[in-house]
Structure 1
Amino acid sequence: MRANNPSFLLLLIAVLAMVSAKAQEDRVVPLPIRPINDSITAPILTEELLNNKPENDSIQKDTTVQKQGFLLDKIKYKAKDYARLSQKDNKIYLYNEAEVYYQDTELKAGIIILDYVKNEVYAGRIKDTVSGEYTQLPYFKQGTQEVIPDSIRFNFDTQKALIWNSRTEQSSGGIGSVGVDAMKVLAEITKKENDSVYFLRRGKITTSKDTLDPDYYILINKAKFVPGKKIIAGFSNMYLVDVPTPIALPFAYFPLSAGRTGGLMFPSFGNDPQRGYFLQNGGYYFPISEYVDLNLLGSFYTNGSYDFRIQSVYTKRYKFRGNINFRFENLIRSQPGFDDFSRSTLYNLQISHQQDAKANPNSRFAASVNLGSSNYFAQSANQVNLANTQNNNLSSSISYSKTFPEYPSVNVSLTATHNQNTNTEAINMTLPTLQGSMERIFPFAKREGTKKGAIQNFNLQYNVNARNQISTTDSLFLTNRMFDNARFGATHRLPFTTNFKVAKYFSVSVGGTYEDIWTLETFERGLDPDDPDSNREVVLDTINGFDRFNRYGLNASIGTTLYGTFNFGEDKKIQAIRHQIRPSIGWGYTPSFEQFYDSYTDNNGEEVLYSRFEGTLNGAPSLNKANSISFSVQNQLEAKVRDKDSTATEPKKIQLLSNLNFATSYNFEADSLKLAPVSFNGGTTLFDRKLSINFSGSLDPYTVDNNGRRINTFNVDAGGSLLRLTRASINLGYSLDSNTFKKKKDKDPDSQEDEDAEDLYRAQSGGRTDDLLGFGNDPVYGRDTKKDDSDIENPAYANKTPWDMRLAFTTSYLNSNRQNEFSNASLMFSGNLELTPRWSMRFSSGYDFKNQGFTLTQFNFTRNLKSFDLRFDWVPFGRNQRWYFFIGISSSLLQDLKWENRSQRRLGSR
């Protein structure tokens, strides 16, 4: 049925619905249930109710940690060519300069495939379509760990990785540190177990800079690698240019810890013609703490000789630093029963302690000790001591000083000194020396403000010096008999002075000194009364007990400064010369102290004067009165020259004479020889300060008799010159290098190498920093680590031929009694020469013109073999004649991989 009128149909449906509802309502029957009101009253919302908090539910919350998702951060990625998402494979493809970043993990490669379902990433190289070579090797970095492999597979969830042909660097500075001592670790397959453990298969360990084609490496089949700590490997074999060597171990351990770690010091093997086979310089290193370490080294020879060394270095920033080095050698020569058999024990102790000035400004402790057997350096079997064989003096000093800053400030110091002549074996010590001084005080002037006139400038000080001096020999040192000749003395000194101006240009100084000398023993002299012989000897009696004497004197001086300038014109090369003169006239007076003198009658019946203080530490007061005038002149000469640099606006100042000084005196109270010899000294530098000249001497106005004694006759009256040269000495020093004869603009700024470490080594070994007295032959020191291979391989480097040379000439002339002779004359020279970019030579020698012979002559040849150093040290003649050959790895990480051979130096008799 179809409705033709939709409106009528809708109206019909509505009427039917209303009728149906009414019919249902009529059929509802009400239930007979009586309603009851609810007894629960709704609470009123008050402020108290709103502030009440609901009580906690008695059911505790589940404390189980919910497992988080594996990916804890967002993965960032990008690529140069394209980054394609494949929903079918659930992977993201990145090509050309692809990069992925996730937390502390960084991955760069030519191609990267990221599986976002397995949370894994694959990275590899891409092949150049033109050259056919693989480029853009993967670079993997996690934290501080860096790896450069051919390809890598890494899981973000487990943090594990599988790496093919990985390359990484380990050094004392940490992982990834690049430097000379960096150790490269290469492996065909590497499994990363976690952040600190890797497993290697078919790995290589080397320090060569060329990791793709190393000149040497240690091949390991399997190994456990803990970055920054160690490598534990199985069978290990050393290869040279891919050729296996007999050097192999069933297992190996390579420490890689950053900083200092304890461990064995591998000894060197060799044969000594006099002492047999030996193990030398082996021991153990103890890093006790961050402030101090300890190194124990020793050597053993098959004939029974042995030695040991204890070395310690300690330092604390802003507090102190120092080192202790004790060496002992028990040397046996030949075999018992032979005529040349001998046994000797030698020792040497070196201590150095320096306190930082910031530690305590009012107290300071310092020590510099170098003592031991006089023949230690001459007979030592350690070749490092070669340079010290030319040192004939050992000296030590230990001091503590304290300053009390309150006015007037007082400084007190306690010092122990030691001086030892290795030729005469004489030892002089002060145990101890007490020194005290009070600052200068001005009793007639205020502490603040300027002081004018003689009264206000009057000042005085107080000084005390007390010493206990010991004179002994090497054989009696450290025994009870070393104190047999001990002497004590103390000097109290009170100087006072004032100064003022006269006529504006003259400086006048007037003062004096009072001294009080103490001693604990004196000496009386006289003829032996019990000796019946007519020619009796003088007997010396020691009187123990406190005694003293005093002495004093007055002095005055007047001086001024004169200037003279000679101008030649600004158009001249030498524009001006300036002369500075400082003349000075002084007067000194010292009375005679007869009250401290006694007398005795000799065998001839003549009276002999003596002082009981003669022979004490500070001597006796003078019996002769002195009333003298002194004269001195100081000169300085400098010039202004036109600068070669045309852009310079001011002339250049150069020193012609740094100083030229003359001094003499005239004693009015002397019976004869009233005029003292004229002493002179001077110095200058020439040729851009490369040539240093220092000279000194003495000119005597009096002549000498046939016995060489000075007599009261002027030399000019005896037919000679006005002044007679009695003593003179001159020292010349010159240094030059490959840049000396070049123009400044042509000089190579990179040719000057940093030699601070080298100079420090030489100073610590006891030698000079200029090698003029020789250099030590340390197998560890001297490895060529300063040159860069990129510089050596540069063809332009071969044309530099860097070299340097130092020369020193010294001579002394004596003519005090007309002997007219040169007491010594010697020329010393040393230098370095780069024969080729990889060959270098170092030499040191000298010639003694007096004795007509060469001094200690040394040659050192070094060959840079990239990862290896080859050295040959040679002393061609003399008592220290010997040679030494060494080849070893340059890096200190594998310094025990070496081979060395040496000859035994010949020892001359002392």
Structure 2
Amino acid sequence: MQTNLYHILFSCFFLFLFFNSTQAQEIDSTRTLRIPAEREAIFPLSDSLLKSTPIVNPNDDIIQEDSTKTKSFLTDNVISTAKDYMMLDAKNKKAYLYNEAKIVYGDITLEAGKIILNNATNEVYAFGIKDSLGNYTQRPVFSQGQNIVEPDSIRFNFDTQKALVYNSRTQQGEFNVKGAITKKENDSVYFMQNVKFTTAKDIDNPEYYFNARQVKLVPEKKVITGLVTMYIADVPTPLMLPFGYFPLTDERSSGIILPSFGDNQNRGYFLQNGGYYFNINEYVDLAVLGDYYTNGSFGFRAESNYALRYKFRGNFSFRYEKLLNSEPGFPDYSESSIYNIRWSHSQDAKANPSSRFQASVNLGSSQYYQESINQTNTANFLNNNLSSSVSYSKTFSGFPEVNLNIAATHNQNTNTQEINMTLPSLNASMSRIYPFAPKNGTKKGIFENINFQYSLRGENRIKTTDSLFFKPQMFRDMQSGIKHSIPIATNFKLFKHFSVSAGTNFEENWVFKTIEQRYDQDTQAVVRDTLNGFDSFRTYNFSSSIGTTVYGQKNFGKDKKIQAIRHVIRPSLSYTLTPSFDQFYDTYLVPATSTLEARNVSYSRFEGSLFGAPGNRYASSIGFNVTNDFEAKITSRDTTATEPIKRKLLSNFSLGTSYNMAADSLKLQPVVVRGSLPVVQDKLTINFNGALDPYALNNSNERIDKWNINNGGSLFRLTRAQTSFSYSFSNKDFERDQDEQTDDLENESFRNGGRPDDLFGRSADFDGKLYEDEEEEVVENETKRYNYSIPWNLRIAYSMTYDNLRRNNEISGHSIMFSGDVELSPRWKVGASSGFDFVNPGFTFTQLRFQRDLESWRLSFNWTPFGDRESWYFFIGIKANVLQDLKYDKNRERDRRL
């Protein structure tokens, strides 16, 4: 590549000769001169002293240029400045710029304490000057674009375009490079002697560096070295390489991922998370990783990220492990195969406003996270549910507007190994139509507010287990059906303060499998046959409701701490009528026995179908619900505030029940109570709910049609209650303008099906960095103390469940979980995640975390001190991606056989 430096410096020298005065001049201003070029010379700007430090061969012939030529190579303004003086020596054909000398041409800038232009030898010299204390200051700084070279001195020849650079300092990719002497072989290859290169920020005092006597440098591409020795704190280490190759690029590149190692009492010594990273292109990458254990166990992992700006982004991973316990032939020998598939896809909102495709998939073996011992799965072994969803939605504009959604879903209980899937489900709906609405103006009254919709829902639903997953039996048990719904409704105002709504809903269900039941006298059992074929049934119901809102406020005065309390009541009364559809029911006769009389058993051929059988019980129910909200107006502590602060005292406190007038007994349903109690505004809210049953229990602890108060008890029996809250707070809560946002697509624990927080602990990636740990630049001095502003954070989750449905009167669930981190110093951070189960006393999964920021290095230690996952993981390595494989890490799991 060519350089503009020769033309720039020659043009600067020409400007000095152009002046008529032959005496030295003191200038403290900026001179700008535009000279039109006779012929435009176009040169790339990526090769310059910014990247090169060439050396001049003294034996080279130097061709003298006539300074009186009018031909100019200038294509832009030349700006030259100096704080003390700019002097022209016409006799020796030299120009001098002294003290904060600076030459600017286009995007190229040369700054130094002193700059000398020698027209006799066609050379330029730039070097620093000494201050009053004798310190060498104002070293040359040559910059072009974003690239910068900072040597002690520069000597450059216009004709040969070679240069000699002493103690050059430059940045290539993630490396900071300092060379004692640098020479340029050609426009793209440079040779350097006595070179230090490191990823530390301070090149003059790095905490570590690599030292090489001879280096070949290809800017922005690579560094090739001879013998390389690693120094830590200027102390040589035994780590040496006969030669070295280091890529210089800000972009990702393909390469080997070195594994971590350790030993396991069940599986022997192992290597984990070693493999190869493929940088396929700028849109997609692939990492292939593997684990191997000396007893024969192994694991495989393939992960890929992809993104297309303004279109979509996502990631995909497949993980498989073959785990052998003990050794073949031993009585405790066993083996298992587990796998997991994850896929996350998110479409940019700007890509297509009328259609959207998104996916969140997490499926595989139910025991994957429980049996896997890879440290990347640490925070997810407590998962008891895996779920997936892949959906496509499309909106067809017009009138009426039609919305279409096609989705496939999956839900898996890892404890029972039960799997529920829909492959696929189809939902289509038409926007609401008001056939009697006026063309202009608002709708008023019952008639004008009449509206109807149409919606369709079709599903293929599968219920299976791990052992039958994606086997023929799974598809033979699949249930299919289509439901058509047409709701018709209206609403209006009554006496100005009451809102009334009424409606009916018509449904038609299509099924493709029905059942037939009969009693077999030979086996004395009920025989259930499945009949394939189309069948259908239709249902309808009616509902109405009336409600209002009542406001009440108590004022205490504007001079009071609490100025006013406001109470909002939203009572509602509803009525629901559901007919009995006996026409869809059949009966079979069960003959009499010695103990039982003959009887007819009723059943519906649609039992077990996708949407269930139609009801054969007539219901006429009245429902009642009342919701309360309490708010307070509090005087602000800010004396400049003109309005009081609103605070919620109790939110959504509701009581609800229903009464079935058509039922033979137990007509009143339990009263459901729920609400939210805000304790700390926008931070801590206690949620609670419960059920109050008015009926009594008999000696068998079964509900009877007798009021509990008439049975010697209270008005209601508390049968169930639950309360829970979660709270996160930190030192930042006492600072203003704190806004934290998380991206679920980037949250490793959440993508695995776990919690988005770290109450289940944190997993460590193969570079030692904890997932969800943001990389923050530490600007404080490492010896600085925090005093009373130590950064910290704490997250707490609490839950308690009371059960008294059948006089068991017990706390069925009671636990607390917590996780937090404390920065003891700007570079020391400790954290812990744990919890306690009060029902079955004992600590839940506990993890202790220690991290040390060593500027260019990262040190971390994760320890699970007890439990089934007892283990530890140690890591120390360089942060920079280019040296990511320069690390030491080890983890060990306890012997599970003990």
- Give TM-score, length-normalised by structure 1: 0.86
1:834 maps to a residue whose letter is E
Kindly provide the CA deviation profile for residues 393-431 of structure 1, in whole angstroms up to 9, marking residues without a partner as x: 011111122222221122222211111111111111111
Kindly provide the CA deviation profile for residues 736-795 of structure 1, in whole angstroms up to 9, marking residues without a partner as x: 32366xxxxxx4559988876997344335442331122212243239874544324474
Q: Which residue in the other structure is 2:73 paired with?
A: 72
Secondary structure in 2 aligned to 1:835? Answer: strand
Q: Which residue in the other structure is 2:880 paired with?
A: 891
Does structure 1 retain, via aligned residues, the 8 Å contact 2:463–2:474? yes
Q: Which residue in the other structure is 2:136 paired with?
A: 134
Secondary structure in 1 aligned to 2:696? Answer: strand
Q: Which residue in the other structure is 2:402 paired with?
A: 410
Structure 1 residues 562 and 907 mapped into 2: Cα distance closer, same or farther (>3 Å)?
farther
Q: Which residue in the other structure is 1:764 paired with?
A: 751
Q: Which residue in the other structure is 1:597 paired with?
A: 585
- 1: CA distance, partners of 2:431 / 2:895: 57
Q: Which deviates further from its counterpart, 757-766 or 234-243?
A: 757-766
Q: Which residue in the other structure is 1:150 paired with?
A: 152
The structure 1 residue matched to 2:546, chosen from 529, 554, 558, is 558
Structure 1 residues 363 and 499 mapped into 2: Cα distance closer, same or farther (>3 Å)?
same
Structure 1 residues 897 and 163 mapped into 2: Cα distance closer, same or farther (>3 Å)?
same
Secondary structure in 2 aligned to 1:211? Answer: coil
The 5-angstrom pairing of residues 518-537 of structure 1 reads 518-531=510-523, 536-537=524-525
Q: Which residue in the other structure is 1:25 paired with?
A: none
Q: Which deviates further from its counterpart, 573-582 or 765-774?
A: 765-774
2:140 maps to a residue whose letter is P
- 2: CA distance, partners of 1:295 / 1:798: 44
Structure 2: segments with no counterpart, 5+ residues = 1-64, 593-597
Does residue 622 (structure 1) correspond to residue 622 (structure 2)? The answer is no
Q: Which deviates further from its counterpart, 354-363 or 713-722?
A: 354-363
1:389 maps to a residue whose letter is F
Q: Which residue in the other structure is 1:349 paired with?
A: 341
Q: Which structure has the larger Rg over C-alpha atoms? A: 1
Does structure 2 retain, via aligned residues, the 8 Å contact 1:751–1:802? no
1:477 maps to a residue whose letter is F
Q: Which residue in the other structure is 1:47 paired with?
A: none
Q: Which residue in the other structure is 2:815 paired with?
A: 826
Does structure 2 retain, via aligned residues, the 8 Å contact 1:159–1:194? no
Does residue 241 (structure 1) correspond to residue 233 (structure 2)? The answer is yes
Does residue 636 (structure 1) correspond to residue 629 (structure 2)? The answer is yes
- 1: CA distance, partners of 2:608 / 2:336: 37
- 1: CA distance, partners of 2:72 / 2:831: 62
- 1: CA distance, partners of 2:206 / 2:775: 20
Does structure 1 retain, via aligned residues, the 8 Å contact 2:272–2:374? no
Q: Which residue in the other structure is 1:14 paired with?
A: none
Kindly provide the CA deviation profile for residues 211-264 of structure 1, in whole angstroms up to 9, marking residues without a partner as x: 211110011221222222221222212111111112222221111223233233
What's the offset of the Cα at 1:514? 1.1
Q: Which residue in the other structure is 1:123 paired with?
A: 126
Kindly provide the CA deviation profile for residues 179-221 of structure 1, in whole angstroms up to 9, marking residues without a partner as x: xxx4211111112345533222111111112221111001122
What's the offset of the Cα at 1:298? 2.2
- 1: CA distance, partners of 2:179 / 2:774: 27
The structure 2 residue matched to 1:281, chosen from 265, 268, 273, is 273
Does structure 2 retain, via aligned residues, the 8 Å contact 1:879–1:908? no
Q: Which residue in the other structure is 1:46 paired with?
A: none
- 2: CA distance, partners of 1:881 / 1:107: 60
The structure 2 residue matched to 1:263, chosen from 249, 255, 260, is 255
Does structure 2 retain, via aligned residues, the 8 Å contact 1:798–1:837? no
Does residue 689 (structure 1) correspond to residue 689 (structure 2)? The answer is no
Structure 1 residues 839 and 729 mapped into 2: Cα distance closer, same or farther (>3 Å)?
same
Does residue 569 (structure 1) correspond to residue 569 (structure 2)? The answer is no
Does structure 1 retain, via aligned residues, the 8 Å contact 2:486–2:506? yes
What's the offset of the Cα at 1:839? 1.5
- 1: CA distance, partners of 2:750 / 2:168: 44
The 5-angstrom pairing of residues 383-782 of structure 1 reads 383-446=375-438, 449-531=441-523, 536-604=524-592, 605-738=598-731, 747-748=734-735, 760-780=747-767, 781-782=769-770
- 1: CA distance, partners of 2:667 / 2:741: 56
- 1: CA distance, partners of 2:188 / 2:383: 53
Does residue 359 (structure 1) correspond to residue 351 (structure 2)? The answer is yes
2:116 maps to a residue whose letter is I
Structure 1 residues 689 and 77 mapped into 2: Cα distance closer, same or farther (>3 Å)?
closer
2:609 maps to a residue whose letter is T
The structure 2 residue matched to 1:225, chosen from 207, 217, 227, is 217
Matched positions, count = 822
The structure 2 residue matched to 1:161, chosen from 163, 169, 183, is 163
1:110 maps to a residue whose letter is G
The structure 1 residue matched to 2:828, chosen from 829, 832, 839, is 839
Does structure 2 retain, via aligned residues, the 8 Å contact 1:71–1:156? no
Secondary structure in 2 aligned to 1:797? Answer: coil
Q: Which residue in the other structure is 2:27 paired with?
A: none
- 1: CA distance, partners of 2:748 / 2:516: 53
Does structure 2 retain, via aligned residues, the 8 Å contact 1:792–1:838? no
Secondary structure in 2 aligned to 1:903? Answer: strand
Does structure 1 retain, via aligned residues, the 8 Å contact 2:513–2:533? yes
What's the offset of the Cα at 1:734? 2.4
- 2: CA distance, partners of 1:261 / 1:204: 23
The 5-angstrom pairing of residues 50-65 of structure 1 reads none
2:485 maps to a residue whose letter is R
Q: CA RMSD in A?
A: 2.4
Does structure 2 retain, via aligned residues, the 8 Å contact 1:379–1:907? no
- 2: CA distance, partners of 1:688 / 1:553: 43
What's the offset of the Cα at 1:110? 1.4
Does structure 2 retain, via aligned residues, the 8 Å contact 1:472–1:482? yes
Does structure 1 retain, via aligned residues, the 8 Å contact 2:460–2:481? yes
Kindly provide the CA deviation profile for residues 496-552 of structure 1, in whole angstroms up to 9, marking residues without a partner as x: 111111111111111111111221121122211444xxxx11111222211111111
What's the offset of the Cα at 1:714? 0.6
